[in-house]
Amino acid sequence: MKNRIYTDIVVIGSGCAGLYCALHLPTDRRVLIITKREADKSDSYLAQGGICVLTEDSDYDSFYGDTLKAGHMENDTRSVELMIRSSQNVIGDLTSYGVSFQKDENGRPVYTKEGGHSRERILYHKDITGKEITGCLHEQVKKRSNITILENMMLCDLFAEDNVCHGILAADENGLSCEIHSEFTILATGGIGGLFQHSTNYRHLTGDGIAVALKHGVELKDEHYIQIHPTTFYTTQAQSRSFLLSESLRGEGARLYDRNGKRFVSELLPRDLLTKAILLQMEKDGTKYVWEDLTGIGEKNLKEHFPNIMEYCEKMGYDVTKDWIPVVPAQHYYMGGIRVDHESRTSMEALYAIGETACNGVHGKNRLASNSLLESLVFAKRAALDITARSKTSFHPIHRSEYHSDYIDLKKLECRNKQLVLEAIKKKQSAEKRTDEYFKRNEEEQCLIQSQ
Ligand SMILES: Cc1cc2nc3c(=O)[nH]c(=O)nc-3n(C[C@H](O)[C@H](O)[C@H](O)COP(=O)(O)OP(=O)(O)OC[C@H]3O[C@@H](n4cnc5c(N)ncnc54)[C@H](O)[C@@H]3O)c2cc1C
């Protein structure tokens, strides 16, 4: 007897996109969220710097301009407009859920700045903004009787017929398979950091949503646009993921130095340009890192705004109030993904994609710092509202049991997924004759093209 679940909507992924989307789906529809590991093991929990917001109408042009400049003008301008115009509404939702952002002594919001921003417009909660936001979303989801979360359940395939999605095939951690039949399916599987040896992402984020899309001919967009974060902690100790040194450190006055302790670049360049400058400097200096000096931020600000980063550096043997720390670029974010329209619909009927897995073109070639939590939330809500308008009151699942065996080798599947995604990236890179600088230099070392 095969394990079967019937639900109205299945959401794959429990990051900020999946959770926020679920909260905006109708309360009289059954919503099932599945997630590959425990519910709190998502990149959304790791976000440090903050979330952008339109602070006042007069900032619109500048916010828009900064986003396009960072994206090399390759952005979808309607997506950018929607993101910025919806930002206050999203922040309103978050605060109504209990998310708290930094305030001054008069109770007014405090904004910080990161690379590529021409002014302060980033709301934050110490250096653990993602945990604050996603933790609150998770608490809200737990209160909804129509939403269920199944942990340690991996998306393996889509049920699709005539380009209509009817649900998914998933498997638990022992590889036991489960059919999930649904009227709508939402892919919110996050980024692709698990394909790289050095990434700030959780290792289990291996682009599975993108891989199943590829298998079924669902369209992708900007597959080759991968963001490398300029500053992660350099260490020779084995680590599962690279520790990020938030860009807001530089926004608050951190400096970058070459091997001789000299500044070599403007620290607030957009990420791709700064990454290039750092890689070039490392090559010139013959080093594996450059130095970041946080002392200019001041001990008080460091302690109040960046306690998590301070604690990590201390654990690694650095007192950031005195010592410089070694930093190196690492894979961080995926601008490309499953092509979606402004309601987050994919090219397959009844299949949506949201968050980092999706590509609505908002980031263009390079994401502006702290735009991704915002983009994830804005377009997750748009997906939910679109589904609400289209959802029927009764849903009749189709039964197709020939899809799978009872047991799935998840390790093999994950490797095949990685290969598929990597091949798609490389194909696009060679078609465009544009290989990312970081790829050129690090291809062999960084990419896990292995099949073990
Ligand atoms: C260290 C770090 C710092 C960051 N800082 C910021 C910041 O300050 N500001 C900002 O805007 N952005 C930041 N980002 C980026 C931002 O956090 C992410 O882009 C965003 O959280 C993505 O949300 P998501 O819901 O799409 O994916 P995620 O939060 O990554 O969630 C993906 C979910 O999908 C699940 N999943 C994956 N594959 C499967 C599968 N096969 N089956 C079932 N479930 C699956 C995962 O388990 C997880 O629950 C940061 C990212 C990192 C890594």
Sheet holding 177-181, edge to edge: 3-6, 177-181, 164-172, 153-161
CATH 2.70.70.10 for domain 231-331, yes or no, is: no
Q: In this structure, what token pair is assigned to residue 129?
A: 């903004």
Q: How far apart are CA 169 and CA 154, in angstroms?
A: 9
**Nearest-angstrom CA–CA distance, 452 and 446:** 16
Task: Take atom 5 of ligand 1 and give the residue whose Cα is closest.
Answer: 47
pLDDT value at position 240?
Answer: 83
From 176, 151, 174, 155, select the one nearest 165 (Cα to Cα).
Answer: 155
**In a mutational test of the pocket of ligand 1, which residue from 11, 43, 90 has the highest number of ligand atoms less than 8 Å from its CB?**
43
What lines the ligand 1 site, CB under 6 Å? 12-18, 34-37, 41-44, 46-51, 129-130, 154-155, 188-191, 200-201, 204-205, 208, 244, 333, 355-357, 370-373, 376
- The dihedral built from the CA positions of residue 75, 81, 83 and 87, taken in this order, carries a sign that is positive
- Beta-bridged to residue 155, according to DSSP, are 170
- Paired tokens of 422: 């990597």
Q: Residue 253: left (phi > 0), alpha (psi -120 to 50), or beta?
A: left
Give the domain 3-226+333-432 fold: FAD/NAD(P)-binding domain (3.50.50)
Domain layout of the chain by residue ranges: 3-226+333-432, 231-331
Q: How many CB atoms lie within 10 A of CB 288?
A: 10
Instruction: Tell me the Cα Rg of the chain.
Output: 21
**Catalytic residue flag (residue 345):** no
Q: Which atom of ligand 1 is closest in space to residue 16's alpha carbon?
A: 25
Residue count of the chain, please give it: 452
pLDDT of 447 = 47
- pLDDT less than 70: residues of the chain: 1-2, 393-396, 398-404, 433-452
Reported as type and span, the H/E element at residue 157 is strand 153-161
Strand, coil or helix: 109:
strand
d(C-alpha 73, C-alpha 65), whole Å = 9
- What is the DSSP code string of 286-303? T-S-EEEE-GGG-HHHHH
Distance 435 CA to ligand 1 centre (A): 25
Q: For position 450, what pLDDT does the model report? A: 37
Is the entire prediction scored with pTM above 0.75? yes
Equal CATH topology for 3-226+333-432 and 231-331: no
pLDDT tens string 319-365: 999 999 999 999 999 999 999 999 999 999 999 999 999 999 999 99
CA distance 3 to 172: 11
241, 250, 271, 339: the catalytic one is: 271
- Distance in Å, CA 224 to ligand 1 centroid: 19
Task: Give 358-388 pLDDT, tens digit per residue.
Answer: 999 999 999 999 999 999 999 999 999 999 9
Q: What is the pLDDT of residue 442?
A: 57
Closest by CA to 214, choosing from 341, 355, 347, is 347
| pLDDT of 431 | 84
Separation of alpha carbons 155 and 70, rounded Å: 33
